[in-house]
Amino acid sequence: MTTVQVINPATEQPVATFESMDLERTDAAIARAAAAAVSWRDVAPGDRARLLRRFAAAVDADLEQLARLEVANSGHTIGNARWEAGNVRDVLDYCAGMPERLLGSQIPVAGGVDITFCEPLGVVGVIVPWNFPMPIAGWGFAPALAAGNTVVLKPAELTPLTAIRLGELVLEAGLPHDVFQVLPGKGSVVGQRFVTHPAVRKVVFTGSTEVGREIMAGCARQVKRVTLELGGKSANIVFADADLQAAAATAPAGVFDNAGQDCCARSRILVQRGVFDTFLELLEPAVRAVRVGDPAEESTEMGPLISAEHRDRVAGFVEDSTTVAYTGTNPSGPGFWYPPTVVLPDSASDRVATEEIFGPIVAVLPFEDEAEAIALANATDYGLSGSIWTRDVGRALRVSRAVESGNLSVNSHASVRYWTPFGGFKQSGLGRELGPDAARAFTETKNVFIATE
Ligand code: TAP
C-alpha cells in the first residue's frame, strides 16, 4: 500500500492522506465480499430494508460532516455538498423500500406452475469518478445492497474522503462486516481488478467514455454485467417563443453548476436565430453575476476545478482564435480557478462545440428551425441530457421525443431525481440507474417450472 495525499482544490493545501490499496488487498477484500454475499442474500427482505434505513439515518446524522468533507476534498459549494449527502440518504431510504418489492411473475403453463425469481448477482464493483463522489456512489451501492448483493466500491483517487466515511457509517448503522467495503486506490489497480476478478459479477462504472469503453471490453471476456454512465455534451435548446428572461437567467446554472464538472452540463446553448442577439444580451448579466469563490461560504455558487491538471486542460479549449463573448469572475491566488466563460464557435464542428470540456465553458450557436435544432442537438456521439425552452407544448413533446438523450427537461434544467430513471443514449452510457427499477439492474431473472402431474 502507498500513502497518497488529498489536496483542497480551493487552497492547494493538503487535507488528509489515505492508504491506496494494492492488488493483494483488493483481492482479499473481494474474497471477503464474496463470503459475505452468501449470508447477506438470505437476510429477510424486511430486515435488509430496516438495515438500509438505519444506514440512511446514519448518513443523515452525519450530513454536515460529510458535506464539509466534500467541500474540503472536492471544492464543491457547501450548498451543493449538503444536497449531495442528502441525496445518499434519500437514495438509501428509497432503495430500502425495494427488498420486499422485488416481485417475480407467475406465468400460465400446462402441467405445472411457472414462476420467476429476482436473484442477486453476488459481488458488485462500483467505480466512481471525482465529480460527484457521494451521489454516484449511492446510486450504485444502495440498489445493489437492496437486491441482496455485497458491494466493493472504488472512489476516484482525487476524492476518496466521503466514500471512506460512508464505509465507516455503514458499520455504525449495523450492517454486517464486508457487505459494503470501500477500497481507495488507482483505477488501473483496484478498478481493473473489479473487471478481471471472476467473483465480481457486475461492474457499475461512471466516468469518461474512453475508460468506459475499456471497462466494457474487459467485462466482455467474462460476459460480466456492466452499467456505464459516461460523458455528455448536452444541448440547451432555446426557441424564439420561449420565456427568454427565464431561459437566460437559468442557463448559467444549467452549465456552470459544479464548475461545469457535470456529465449533464448543458454545455451547448442552441438559440433560434431571430432571438440570438437578445438572448446573448440577457445571458451576459446572469453570467457575470455567478458568485465564484470560497466553496465553504454559504453564498458561493461556483467553486474551483478539481486539479491544476484539469484546469489547464479546460483552459486549453479557449485558443487564440476562439471568440469569447464574455466571462464571469474568479478569485486570484491559490486554487484551481477558471471563470464562467461564454464562447461563440465559428461552426458547430469546432472543438468547443463537440468535445466534453467538463469545465465552466459554454458554446452558444444559432439555429433556424425545429429540424435544425434537433439535427444540431443530435450531432454528437453523446446522449445524456438536455433542455428545451418553448411555450409550445406540442413542440416541447416533439423535440423531447426527437432528441437522442436519456434525460430531457422542458423549461427547466433538472435531470436528476432519485425516483426517476437516469442514464445515457449512444456513447453516454449503457443501462439505467435510479427510479423504480433500480434494484432489478442488480438481479438475474430465474425461471422455475414445477410439474404438478
Ligand atoms: P475517468 O478518468 O474515466 O475515471 C473514473 C473512475 O474510473 C475513477 O475512479 C478512475 O480511477 C477509474 N479508472 C480509471 N482508469 C481505469 C481503468 N483502466 N480501469 C478501471 N477503473 C479506472 O473519469 P473522470 O475524469 O474521473 O470523470 C469525469 C468523466 O465522468 C466525464 O466524462 C463525465 O461526463 C463522466 N461522468 C458521467 C456521469 C454519468 S452519471 N453519466 C456522472 C459523472 C461523471 P482514478 O481515480 O485512479 O483515476
What percent of the chain is helix, strand and coil (3-state, nearest 5)? 40, 20, 35
The Cα 153–Cα 232 span in angstroms is: 23
Nearest CA to ligand 1 atom 42: 263
- Residue 392: pLDDT band by 50, 70, 90 thresholds? very high
**C-alpha 75 to ligand 1 mean position (Å):** 18
The Cα 70–Cα 163 span in angstroms is: 10
This model's pTM is above 0.95? yes
Report the nearest atom of ligand 1 relative to the CA of 356: 32
Report the nearest atom of ligand 1 relative to the CA of 207: 30
| 70, 157, 229, 433: the active-site residue | 229
From 192, 204, 195, select the one nearest 149 (Cα to Cα): 204
**For residue 162, what pLDDT is reported?**
98
Residue 219 is among the residues annotated as catalytic for this protein: no
From 348, 315, 345, select the one nearest 330 (Cα to Cα): 315
From 256, 278, 274, 415, select the one nearest 337 (Cα to Cα): 256
What torsion, rounded to 10 degrees, do the Cα atoms 60, 65, 69, 72 define? Answer: 130
User: Ligand 1 pocket, 151 CB below 6 A?
Assistant: no
Q: What is the pLDDT of residues 334-343, one digit of tens each?
A: 999 999 999 9
Strands 235-238 and 385-389, how do they pair? Answer: parallel
Strands 407-410 and 429-430, how do they pair? Answer: unpaired
Task: Look over the chain and give the mean of its residue pLDDT values, rounded to a whole number.
Answer: 98
User: Ligand 1 pocket, 356 CB below 6 A?
Assistant: yes
pLDDT exceeds cutoff 90 at 168: yes
Nearest CA to ligand 1 atom 48: 187
Strands 407-410 and 385-389, how do they pair? Answer: parallel
User: Ligand 1 pocket, 136 CB below 6 A?
Assistant: yes
pLDDT exceeds cutoff 90 at 320: yes
User: Ligand 1 pocket, 208 CB below 6 A?
Assistant: yes
- Residue 243: pLDDT band by 50, 70, 90 thresholds? very high
**For residue 365, what pLDDT is reported?**
98
Q: How many CA atoms lie within 13 A of 151 on its CB side?
A: 27
**C-alpha 451 to ligand 1 mean position (Å):** 49
User: Ligand 1 pocket, 232 CB below 6 A?
Assistant: yes
Percent of the chain with pLDDT over 90: 100
- Give yes or no for a contact between 233 and 380, defined as CB atoms under 8 angstroms apart: yes
**C-alpha 146 to ligand 1 mean position (Å):** 25
In the DSSP assignment, the letter for residue 274 is G
- Give yes or no for a contact between 294 and 302, defined as CB atoms under 8 angstroms apart: no
User: Ligand 1 pocket, 187 CB below 6 A?
Assistant: yes
User: Ligand 1 pocket, 140 CB below 6 A?
Assistant: no
Report the nearest atom of ligand 1 relative to the CA of 384: 41
Choose which residue among 134, 157, 162, 208 to substitute to test ligand 1 binding: the one with the highest number of ligand atoms within 8 A of its C-beta.
Answer: 208
- Give yes or no for a contact between 432 and 383, defined as CB atoms under 8 angstroms apart: no
- Residue 1: pLDDT band by 50, 70, 90 thresholds? confident
In the DSSP assignment, the letter for residue 330 is -
**For residue 132, what pLDDT is reported?**
98
Residues 6 or more apart whose Cβ sits within 8 Å of residue 188: none
| 84, 263, 264, 301: the active-site residue | 263
Cell numbers placing 46? 424486511
The Cα 386–Cα 394 span in angstroms is: 17
**For residue 385, what pLDDT is reported?**
98
Burial state string for 4-27 with b = 16 or more CB within 10 A and e = fewer than 16: bebbbbbbeeeeeebebbeeebbe
Grid cell 452510457 is found at: 429
- Residue 101: pLDDT band by 50, 70, 90 thresholds? very high
Report the nearest atom of ligand 1 relative to the CA of 186: 47
- Give yes or no for a contact between 157 and 128, defined as CB atoms under 8 angstroms apart: no
pLDDT exceeds cutoff 90 at 160: yes
Mean pLDDT of 433-440: 98
For Cα atoms 317, 322, 327, give the angle at the middle one, nearest 5 degrees: 80
Choose which residue among 152, 205, 211, 354 to substitute to test ligand 1 binding: the one with the highest number of ligand atoms within 8 A of its C-beta.
Answer: 211
Residue 263 is among the residues annotated as catalytic for this protein: yes
**C-alpha 443 to ligand 1 mean position (Å):** 24
Q: How many CA atoms lie within 13 A of 294 on its CB side?
A: 5
Nearest CA to ligand 1 atom 12: 187
**C-alpha 391 to ligand 1 mean position (Å):** 37
- Residue 102: pLDDT band by 50, 70, 90 thresholds? very high
From the number of C-beta atoms within 10 Å of its C-beta (0-12, 13-18, 19+), residue 78 rates as buried
User: Ligand 1 pocket, 125 CB below 6 A?
Assistant: no
Mean pLDDT of 339-358: 97
